[in-house]
Amino acid sequence: MLETLQQLDRDLLVYLNSLGSETFDPIWKVITKQIYWTPVFLFIGYLAYKKLGWRHTLLIVGMIALLVAFTDQATNLIKNTVQRLRPCNNPEIADVIRAVVKRKSFSFVSGHASNSMASAFFLFMVLRRYYKYMGFIFLWPLVFAYSRIYLGLHYPGDILAGYCLGLLTGFLILKLYIYLRNRYFQGEQGV
């Protein structure tokens, strides 16, 4: 059963990765870097400030920082325990895929997927009552994580497991946020 899932994971990676083209490689290299998403998060920070005020927005920013730190540590622990080779380093498929970017670290689970899903879930839950189209924030983890497949850095299973880890950590940090909000922001809006 495990071998069948791994083969399906490899086959899906090869297919999705093969859809790429050298023409679009530079775009996907930009998409995969967190720093280029800064304007999106500044805009979301502005939206939070607009509805919740600066003190509550600082709490949200602090929770996001804690969320990213926690998710990064959990991801690294899993990666170093499982030690799955990245597709670009896997001798079985390295010659078959387009390895646009190469990394030496391990593949399972995707930190990009877990961090982006955790952040998107948290922000969605906090801001959904104020913004009708907040659900669009989930496009970010989809595009961000697909960039990892496109570049040959992750298998789809790494992405899916990263999403699950992200949802779990996002949920845990959301619970902490609700506790702190209820304790220190009586009468202010939120989840």
Tens digits of per-residue pLDDT, 62-89? 999 999 999 999 999 999 999 999 998 8
- Which is higher by pLDDT, 19 or 187? 19
> Does a structural domain hold residue 10?
no
In total, how many domains does the chain have? 1
In whole numbers, what is the pLDDT of the chain averaged over residues? 91
Cα(65)–Cα(182) distance, rounded to whole angstroms? Answer: 20
> Does a structural domain hold residue 71?
yes
Please, what sign has the CA dihedral across residues 83, 99, 167, 72? positive
Residues with catalytic function:
112, 154
> Does a structural domain hold residue 106?
yes
Q: Provide the domain limits for residue 128.
A: 40-184
> Does a structural domain hold residue 104?
yes
> Does a structural domain hold residue 11?
no
> Does a structural domain hold residue 92?
yes
> Does a structural domain hold residue 26?
no
Type of residue found at 46: Y
Cα(89)–Cα(93) distance, rounded to whole angstroms? Answer: 8
**Alpha-helical segments (H) within 83-186:** 111-127, 139-150, 156-184
- 45's tokens: 């920070």
Digit-coded pLDDT (tens) for 29-63: 999 888 888 898 899 999 999 999 999 999 999 99
Type of residue found at 136: F
> Does a structural domain hold residue 24?
no
**129 contacts 175 by C-beta, under 8 angstroms:** no
pTM of the model: 0.89
